[in-house]
Structures are given as C-alpha cells and as structure tokens.
Structure 1
Amino acid sequence: MSVTEALAPDRDAYELRAEDVRVPPRTFRERLRYLGPGIVLTASVVGSGELLVTTSLGAKAGFVLLWLVIIGALVKVWVQVELARWTILNGGTALAGYGAVRPRIGRMGWINWLWIGLDTAKNFQRGGVIGGAAAACSIAWPIAGAELSRTSLVLWTVVITVVSVLLMSSSRYSVVERVTTISVALFTTSTFALVLALPFTSYSYSAADFGTGLSFAIPAGALGLALAMFGSTGVGADDMTNYTYWCLEKGYARWTGPDDGTEERALRAEGWLKVMQLDVLVSWVICTLTTLAFYIVGASVLAPQNAVPEGNDVITTVSRIYTDTLGSWAEVAFLVGAVAVLFSTHVAAVAAVPRLWTNTLGLMGVIDWNDLAVRTRWVRIFTVVLPAVWAAMYLFVQSPLLLLKIGAIGNAIFLLAVLIAVWQLRTTEVDRRFRSGSWTTAVLAVSTVAITGLAVYALLEVFGISAGGG
C-alpha cells in the first residue's frame, strides 16, 4: 500500500535536489501507494489519550458527548494540512517555520522557546504512555510478582523502553513506518472486534444511544468535561509538528524539488500536495473511528456502572469487564489492542522527539542541522536518553492517567501558538496558487475559533479558574 523511500546512507532526506524530483501519481489507486506519514501520525495520536483518557471520559459522560469526539478530530486536521502544505512547498521543518514567526528571542522565534517549555511538560505524558503499556503487559503476563505489582511494572517498563530504543536506533524513516503500520493494524482490528461484540452482551448499545450522542448537546455542568474531551481527541499540536518531519522523510518535498519557478515544478507540487491530503484523510478516518470505539467502550460498559477508573485501573477494569461479558478471548483481544496502541504511540514518540530536539539544537546554533552525520549522531543520542527519562517519570509518579492530563494541558496551549504560525506562513510564504480555497479558509477560521477557546480553557485550568462544571 505504501512506497517507502530507501535513501542511501549518504543522502539527506531534508535536502531538496533537482535530481530527486519525481512525477506525482495521478490516480487514487496510485496515490495510495505513497501513503505513510499519516500512518505514523495515527500511531502517535491513538494511544496518547484515546485508550486511557477517552475511555474515562466516555465513562463519565455516557453517549451524550459522542458528537464531540468527531468534531474534536475534524476541527484540528485542517491546521495539520496547512502546516504540511508549507513544508512540502518550502522544504522546511515545522520548527524552522515557527522560527519565522516574530518576535524572535535570540536565534529562535518565541514559538520555538514555547515548544521547549511545553515539550518538557509532554515528557510527563510520554511517561504515562510507557506506564499504560507496562500495565497492559503486566496484566497479560506478570513476569515477576502479581499483576500490576511494583516489580512487574518496573521490569515491563524497562523491557518496553529498551525494545523501543533498539527498534528506533537506526533513526531511519522506513523502520518507523513499518513498525507503526503493524501496530496500527493490530490495534485497529482488535478494537473494532471488541466494539462489534458488545451488542451480544449485557452492555449492548442501541441506535437510540447514538441518537443521543449525535444531538450536539452539552449537559448542564459538563462544559469543563466537554472542553477536556475536545483537547484530548484528534491531532495535537505536537502531532502536527511531527507530521512535517515524516512528510519530508517520506519524500513529498524532495520529490517536488526546489522552487525553480517553472510550471513543471508547480505541477509536481500540486500532485504531491494531493497525495499529502489523501494521507491526512486516511489518517483522520482511522484516528476518528478508533477514538469513537474507545469512547463507546467507556459509554457502554463503564458509564452504566458508574465506574470511572483512574490510573492503571483503566486497563484493569475494562479488561476484566470484557472477560466477564465475552469470555477470556475478549480480555486477550483487549490487552493485545491496548499494548499495540500504547506501544505504537511510544515508538512514534521515540522516533519523532529526538528529531525535534536535534532540530532545536540546530536552530540554536549549537550544532549544524544541515550536516547529515552530525544530525544523525544527535538523533541517536536523544533516542537513547529521552525514553529513559520518560520511563523514570512514570516510575516516579505511577499514574498514567495523571501524566497524560499534565501533558494534555501543555499541548492545548501550544496548539494556539501553532495556529498563529500557520496563519502567518500560509499568508507570507505560500504562493496564492497553492493556498486553500475560500471554503477551506472558512473551515480553518472556524477551527481557529474553536482552538482558541480550548487554549483559553487550558490556561484557566493552569491557574485554577473553573471554566465549567464536570
């Protein structure tokens, strides 16, 4: 389904050369062969909040906020498309684009400095992902002591961290795409199987439930819960940022080539932009359907019992309910899905975050980002160091859900900064020929309003000011 570019070790995926240009595919079927960055993004998005946070939110709200899962995912995807459009046309990473947004502080833009601060907060969330995966593995196979015992959790945390580092040690995009594609296939299949089995249990859902969930209502006192759900679903600001690196390493910008002002280059750009848009669409569909599945689990199974589990109990409670209703096979299916979801998110982070920190060092002037050997060395250093830090954070706090919530607040604030950057870049650095049409611009404006509201809510939360009940 995908074409994974195999670059020679001495070729730079971030350098645009005239000899690397490629005629874009013209048919839908041909474009499917060039998908890939969206699959990596899906692995990153589904798991960071969906399995733990979205399931818990479904347990709290029931079906009534089902519509917000769809809207939350749909609204933010337009910002992702605009940022990727700039990347393909200019060949620059998102962090480089953020540096163009004034005012500048030293060698970097203010958004770059904001990213540094908020990515530190995201480390808590990444620790939570490792913890969730360790908990799922411990329930499935407590290799030492009882399930969820301290010893079992520590050992699984170490195993997950080491395996992910080894998988990503080559720092090659082709490896990232293959690993995440397998993980996405696993968690998508297992999750849908469980949701489709629910109607045959005492926790069945009905058409009336979906009618309630699509009524666009927010219950009294649930504004805070609704905004939290909007922030936790769909593509986050860090995911949008990461996506530009995968578009570059897949080859979309390289195959478009440097801007030489010719009509041939413009036609190539239009063709590869269409591939990117299809890639985003497929990713959005998978992310939305999987998130809906997790929400339905919470609303169907947990909400009727008033069971709103916290921390590791999210995985324990849901897996045991499946066992009680469907038998042991369902617990196995759920745990396979849980491990695949959380591990794929972790692997995607191990692949992406070292690239971003290395790029940041380059923007600071500490290293030469354009030197392939130097860049590769620093990416590999961060690939070892950062996962160890995330694992330590989880073992210290021991609550995946709490860690995920801390990271989600930081991500919501950064999302507003990304939005500012996107509007400036599309206005000043994207030729009118390639800008989105009036309808898409209107949708982006609606997204701007919604995202701004989310950012304001997140700031109120930080300062302890209640924006609504729930």
Structure 2
Amino acid sequence: MADTTGNIRGGTGEDISQPRKSSWAYIGPGIVVAATGVGAGDLVATLIAGSNFGYTLLWAAVIGCLVKISLAEACGRWHLATGRTLFDGWQSLGRWTTVYFAIYVVIWGFVYGATAMSSSALPLVALFPEGPDLKVWAVAMGLVGLVFVWFNKYAVFEKLMTVLIGIMFVVVVYVAIRVTPNLGEAFTGLVPILPDGSLLYTLGLVGGVGGTITMAAYGYWVNAKGWTDTGWMKVMRLDNRVAYITTGVFVVAMLIVGAELLHTTGLALTQGGQGLIDLGTILEDRYGTATAKLFLVGFFATSFSSLVGVWHGVSLMFADFVGRLRGGARGGRDAAVAEVATGEREKSAPFRWYLLWLTFPPMVLLWLDRPFGLVVVYGVLGAFFMPFLAATLIWLLNSSRTPAEWRNGWLSNGMLAAAGLLFIVLCVQQVRELPW
C-alpha cells in the first residue's frame, strides 16, 4: 500500500518510486507467465510433433517464442506507458469488448478449471498408485490452489512459481540430455521446411505453446510486482525475454525427447495429459524407475504451476473487469493499476468470486466421462482469444491512447499482425473441426 511519503510499494515490498536499470535481480513476472503458459497439453503437442517429424519443425518453436515475446511485450508496454490496465484499454474501444470478455472469461474459466485440476492430478495418481483416485486428487489440487491464492499476495505467489519453474526446467532439460540428442540433425531443423501433413503441427508450435489468456495477464503481474510506470520499461523487456527464452527451452527440450525417444522408434502417445503418463512408462522401460519418477514430478510442476497461475492471474483480470463495470477511476494514473500494485485487488470480492468460480463449479465436470460439448466450446473460444488480443493491442498501441514515445514501431506492428493472422488460421481450423 502507499507509504507516508506517497511512494507506491509493489507486491514484493520494494520502493518503486525511482526508475531502475535493466537487471536480473528484478526478474519475476516473466517467470510467472512462463510457468503458467506451458501446460501438460502443450508438452504433449510438442512431443507428438517431435515424434511425427523429428527435428524438422524446430524452427517453428523458435518463431513461436518470438511471436509470444512481441505479444507479451505489448501487454506490458501498455500497462507501463499509459498507467492503465489492459481491460481499461479494451473498454475504450467500445462496448463489444466488454461483452466478448464477459462471455469468454465465464465459459473458459468453467472448462479450464476442470482441465487444470485433472492435469495436476494425473501425475499424482501415477506417483502414488495405491492412493486416492483421479477425481479425489483433482478436487484436492483445486482446493490447494484456491487456498494458496486466497491467502497469499503476489510476492509469495511469485516465489512458488519460481520453485515450480525451476523443477520444470531441470527435469525437462535432464530428460532431453538423457535421450542423447543428435545436435547435428537438430541444427538442420532450424531451416524452415514444411513436410507433408505438418502444417497444423507447425501452427500449433508457433501459436499454441506459451499461454493464451495468461499472456494478457502478464501486464497485471507486471503491476503486481510494483512496476507501474515507464521507468520500469527496460526491466519489463528483459523479464519478458527471459520468460519466452525459458519457454523456448522447454519446447526444444520436449521436441528433442519426441524426436529421439519416439520418432526413431515409431512409438506413439495418446493426446492430452495421458500422453505424459505414456511417456513416463516409456522412460521407465528405457532408463529406469528413478528417471520416470523424476519426470512425473516435472509433469506435476508443469500442470500445477499452470493451475495456480491461472487462479491468480485471470482472477486479477476479472477483478479489474468488475471494477470497470462499476465505474472505476479514469484519467491520469489509473487507480486500478495502483490497486493491483499494492495488492488491493487480491483482497477484493471479485478476485475471490472468480477464484471460487474456477474451483467449485468445474468439479462437476470431473464426474462426467466425456464432456465433449464444453470442450469444443472451450477450444473454439480459446482460438478466438489470441486474434482478439493481437488486434486490440495493435489498435491501442497505435492510437492517441498511448504516449507517442511508446507507440508501436514497424517491427512491433509486423509481429503483432503476423501473430493475429496466425491465430486466425488456427481459429478457422478449430471451427472446421466442429461436429456440425
């Protein structure tokens, strides 16, 4: 909260009144967005791409990181340059953005809650086969996430996410080294080539790994860290690059595992989180129980970090959304940004309402064997969100809403436009796959 001198203190408690030089000491929100954005489904999709095409699509993973760096940087730049939250910017574009976000955040949260809880439970069932069944573990993970986010502010949340991403990083890189990558062949994968039947896998690698709505949450985590003005711009940009370079390491490591362990042997994985259980079994057969157990721990860290990250980040966005509908302050330094930076939003009723929405209603889906209708709606809405994010960022960051010094240049406009087109293609493909 504000101190007696009027300086804002951020989520980590430091005095943020003075501009800072770019420094590794401040890294934090990027770690959070990286840990949240890479989930079990992303790892399976990358594994399957590697198993089907070897190293051929490595270049797509690199481009994907550049695309996500551009999108997240634009989100952070908006928050720092304008002193306004992203939803405040969306609201300035017209009422249609409010309608869209309201529908999206309710349906997406309902389905994602069940998905996140199930993904976090799967590795625990494999690690403790004599323990509770999947539904009990899933409910427990939802409740643990709820309690943790409910009672802790950003500083503690960031520390947990740092531990989880550390586990993810060590395990994934260890497994990639364990399968003995062919570095010569890997470097050839940096040459853009599209093998027959690889288009959708390529689009998935470029656009599907590293987060959807959690990318929009990045600006809120930047504010929660205590970064609220342009004095933190260089720090934010370094933080963002670290986030997606880390994500790139995950993607490349899993592609290596898919190429070396699956592609060369013709083994196949099932879709979804179950595919990582399959991989654990394969690793146990090849490298022993210890490696398999370690991988399952990494699988849990990957899934649970996504759960906790969404519970916190999207709840912050929802709290801002409700605050705007109630007529939040306008003009000058946005009161909503200050509330996020001082932790007031994390104690607000809307923040906690959405936490409850993510946790309890989705538990109903855990007792449904095949909730296809909602899964289809979730997939389509997810595909629609990223074009919305890219297009609105182009609009906001090229308009008078943004100070001239911080508006988009040609490179940022080009990357955001390319991202928007990419996600439109992915969106069309999702719609085509609907069971009309």
Provide the TM-score with structure 1 as the length reference. 0.80
Amino acid at match of 2:310: A
User: In structure 1, what is the equivalent of residue 310 of structure 2?
Assistant: 349
Q: State the shift of 1:72 in Å.
A: 1.2
Counterparts of 1:86 and 1:444 in 2: how far apart (Å)? 14
Instruction: Classify 1:190/1:118 alpha carbon distance in 2 versus 1 (closer, same or farther; 3 Å).
Output: same
Q: State the shift of 1:391 in Å.
A: 3.8
Instruction: Classify 1:182/1:408 alpha carbon distance in 2 versus 1 (closer, same or farther; 3 Å).
Output: farther
Q: Is the 8 A contact 1:44 1:349 kept in 2?
A: yes
> How many matched pairs?
416
Amino acid at match of 2:217: N
Counterparts of 2:217 and 2:7 in 1: how far apart (Å)? 18
Aligned to 1:63, what secondary structure does the other structure show? Answer: coil
User: In structure 2, what is the equivalent of residue 170 of structure 1?
Assistant: 151
Aligned to 2:26, what secondary structure does the other structure show? Answer: coil
Q: Is the 8 A contact 2:30 2:240 kept in 1?
A: yes
Instruction: Classify 1:80/1:246 alpha carbon distance in 2 versus 1 (closer, same or farther; 3 Å).
Output: same
User: In structure 2, what is the equivalent of residue 127 of structure 1?
Assistant: 114
Task: Show the 5 A alignment for 1:7-156.
Answer: 22-26=17-21, 28=22, 31-47=23-39, 49-101=41-93, 104-105=94-95, 110-119=96-105, 120-121=107-108, 123-144=110-131, 152-156=133-137
Q: State the shift of 1:433 in Å.
A: 2.3
Does residue 316 of structure 1 match 2:277?
A: yes
Counterparts of 1:77 and 1:366 in 2: how far apart (Å)? 32
Instruction: Classify 1:39/1:292 alpha carbon distance in 2 versus 1 (closer, same or farther; 3 Å).
Output: same
Task: Show the 5 A alignment for 1:318-333.
Answer: 318-333=279-294
Q: Is the 8 A contact 2:118 2:138 kept in 1?
A: yes
Counterparts of 2:420 and 2:313 in 1: how far apart (Å)? 24
Q: Is the 8 A contact 1:232 1:408 kept in 2?
A: no
Aligned to 1:305, what secondary structure does the other structure show? Answer: coil
Unaligned runs of 5+ in 2: 330-334
Counterparts of 1:241 and 1:373 in 2: how far apart (Å)? 16
Amino acid at match of 1:287: T
Select which of 421, 424, 427 maps to 1:452.
421
Select which of 310, 320, 325 maps to 1:364.
325
Unaligned runs of 5+ in 1: 1-5, 145-150, 200-204, 257-268
Does residue 210 of structure 1 match 2:186?
A: yes
User: In structure 1, what is the equivalent of residue 350 of structure 2?
Assistant: 378
Does residue 248 of structure 1 match 2:223?
A: yes
Q: State the shift of 1:32 in Å.
A: 1.7
Amino acid at match of 1:223: L
Aligned residues with identical type, % of pairs: 23
Counterparts of 2:328 and 2:189 in 1: how far apart (Å)? 51
User: In structure 1, what is the equivalent of residue 207 of structure 2?
Assistant: 231
User: In structure 1, what is the equivalent of residue 195 of structure 2?
Assistant: 219
Does residue 393 of structure 1 match 2:365?
A: yes
Counterparts of 2:275 and 2:26 in 1: how far apart (Å)? 37
Select which of 166, 181, 184 maps to 2:162.
181
Counterparts of 2:115 and 2:434 in 1: how far apart (Å)? 25
Instruction: Classify 1:14/1:336 alpha carbon distance in 2 versus 1 (closer, same or farther; 3 Å).
Output: same
Counterparts of 1:228 and 1:176 in 2: how far apart (Å)? 29
Q: Is the 8 A contact 1:168 1:175 kept in 2?
A: no
Q: State the shift of 1:209 in Å.
A: 2.8
Counterparts of 1:52 and 1:224 in 2: how far apart (Å)? 14
Counterparts of 2:8 and 2:40 in 1: how far apart (Å)? 27
Amino acid at match of 1:165: L
Q: State the shift of 1:127 in Å.
A: 2.5
Counterparts of 1:404 and 1:277 in 2: how far apart (Å)? 35
Aligned to 1:33, what secondary structure does the other structure show? Answer: helix
CA RMSD of aligned residues (A): 3.1
Amino acid at match of 2:220: Y
Instruction: Classify 1:373/1:42 alpha carbon distance in 2 versus 1 (closer, same or farther; 3 Å).
Output: closer
Amino acid at match of 1:79: L
CA deviations on 1:65-114 (whole Å, 9 max, x unpaired) are 1211111121132122122111012222211111111xx23xxxx23322
Counterparts of 2:2 and 2:173 in 1: how far apart (Å)? 36
CA deviations on 1:300-347 (whole Å, 9 max, x unpaired) are 222332403124431221001111111111011101100011001101
Aligned to 2:92, what secondary structure does the other structure show? Answer: coil
Instruction: Classify 1:122/1:167 alpha carbon distance in 2 versus 1 (closer, same or farther; 3 Å).
Output: closer
